[in-house]
Amino acid sequence: MQIRTLVTGPFQTNTYLICGGDQHKAIIVDPGEEADRLKQELEIHDLQLGAILATHAHLDHVSAVSELQRWSKAPFCLPSGEREVLRWLPEASRFFGVPECAEPQVDLWLHPDLVNLSEVLAQDQLGFLEIGVHASPGHSPGGVCYQIGEHWFVGDTLFKGSVGRVDLPGGDWQTLQESLRALLTLPDNTPIYPGHGPQSTIGLERVSNPFLQEINGQYTTRA
């Protein structure tokens, strides 16, 4: 599996371009902005976009979706708990003082009980990657993490040295804490790919992330 990280837009969102068994097919996670740059990256590496995934619907994670859909015809998948957040996009654009983000058309609303994208998408669309879906609400009401092998794409649930903000509509600290507790049950060597900032591991965050200290004390380190 190959993972390319592109930092996009004024919010410096990590957009992940991932390809697996089919070296000519890729998926994209959280296309925050700069659609032309993302298209160019796909073309440079001779990759066909099979699916567009978002961990949640905040504008800095979906602003490039509409253009990528138009260009590639790839389906856009979003957790169903993000419907209201998606509707808030025009207001969010005004709130943050950025150009208005067009509300993308969602092709597949991911049901909260869905655990594997292969249940709703063909393997060739997924680049023959096995992609697990794990609910991680709190930063937003319906946010998810995507798991590909041992790699976890955690959106804005967890960052290196920090956690997602909860002061936007639909955010809730108690709910986010439960999502963080679930992540803390993963093995220490689990790589995490956050929505902003550098990559980390569960083990590093367990011992060094100040926001996890109270939660951290409730768990022992796992191999």
Cβ burial, residue 158 (10 Å; 0-12/13-18/19+): buried
Cα–chain-centroid distance for residue 172?
18
The angle subtended at Cα 159 by Cα 43 and Cα 163, nearest 5°, is 135
Tokens representing 13 are 């969102």
For the chain, the domains span 2-216
CB atoms within 10 A of CB 101: 21
| 54 touches 30 (CB < 8 A) | yes
Q: What is the CA radius of gyration of the chain?
A: 16
The structural architecture, per CATH, of the domain 2-216 is 4-Layer Sandwich (3.60)
What integer pLDDT is reported at residue 169 of this predicted model?
86
Each of the 223 residues of the chain gets a pLDDT tens digit; together they read: 899 999 999 999 999 999 986 678 999 999 999 999 999 999 999 999 999 999 999 999 999 999 999 999 999 999 999 999 999 888 888 888 888 777 899 999 999 899 999 999 999 899 899 999 999 999 999 999 999 999 999 999 999 999 999 998 899 999 999 999 999 999 999 999 999 999 999 999 999 999 998 776 654 444 3
